[in-house]
Amino acid sequence: MSSKSDFKILAIDDEKDILLLLKYNLEQEGYTVKTSDSGIEALKTVEKFSPHLILLDIMMPKLDGIETCIKLRSIENLSNSYIIFLTAREEEYSEVAAFDAGADDYITKPIKPRALISRINSFFKRRFSSKDSSLVQEIETLKIDKNSYTTILDGKKIYLPKKEFELLYFLMKNSTKVFSRDALLRNVWGSGVHVVARTVDVHVRKLREKIGENFIKTIKGVGYKFEVPTKN
């Protein structure tokens, strides 16, 4: 994919003014955009429209953003879609719930169109740049390929949401080093993103559920490091 017009975005929000704002700015940037004013409508939309990126509000009637995210993540052809929550809620528990549901990013309102577009442009460039062998990490039975955003464990492909994937990739690439939570937030989420330190713990826990307990080691009082499992 080389053209932004091939990159599909779905915006989900019950506020029509916000949908209009997002659609106008993103289409001006060259992206293909569809909108839904409810989680229920969004689930119908993705039956025929498979977005590469989803912008999702948390506070919606009938089916809120958390429930919508969980349902979207259960759809196989959306396994590599990048989900960004856009919300007026700043409470830590809302942020943790969003990442638990499968979100990749979390942005608080009011929306700053230029900053949001800059973030989406950055994701577009990273996701669809030409393939590079240096973006493949393979240690023991675990292989992670950033060209295709695929993860293979013991010969089987496993699904990881975007931020879980990037956290694992970063730790594998720097497998000799120990990183504090703040360092992981800076390197994986970026310095301009407001997320709490507990976000790292949530993602590590979810990674361990999928790849096992042995690859990511907790260094008490410091943070985390990737470790090659010892053979018995």
**Which CATH code of 3.30.1490.100, 1.20.810.10, 1.10.10.10, 2.40.400.10 fits the domain covering 133-226?**
1.10.10.10
Q: Could you tell me the sign of the dihedral formed by the alpha carbons of 106, 68, 70, 51, in that order?
A: negative
pTM value? 0.63
pLDDT tens track, the chain, 232 positions: 558 888 999 999 999 999 999 999 999 999 999 999 999 999 999 999 999 999 999 999 889 999 999 999 888 888 778 899 988 877 777 788 888 888 888 888 888 888 889 888 887 876 665 455 567 888 888 999 887 788 999 999 998 988 899 999 999 988 878 999 988 988 888 866 677 778 899 999 999 999 999 899 998 888 999 987 765 5
Please report the pLDDT score of residue 78 as a whole number. Answer: 85
Q: Pinpoint the alpha helices (H) of the chain.
A: 16-28, 39-45, 65-73, 92-101, 113-127, 162-173, 181-184, 198-211
CATH class of the domain whose range is 4-127: alpha beta
The SS3 call for residue 215 is coil
Owner of token pair 């979207």:
72
Q: What pLDDT shows up at residue 115?
A: 85
User: Of the candidates 176, 177, 162, 170, which has an alpha carbon nearest to the alpha carbon of residue 135?
Assistant: 170
- Given this model, what pLDDT does residue 147 score? 78
CATH 3.40.50.2300 in the chain is located at: 4-127
Residues of CATH 1.10.10.10 domain(s) within the chain? 133-226
Amino acid letter at 48? K
Q: What is the pLDDT of residue 35?
A: 97
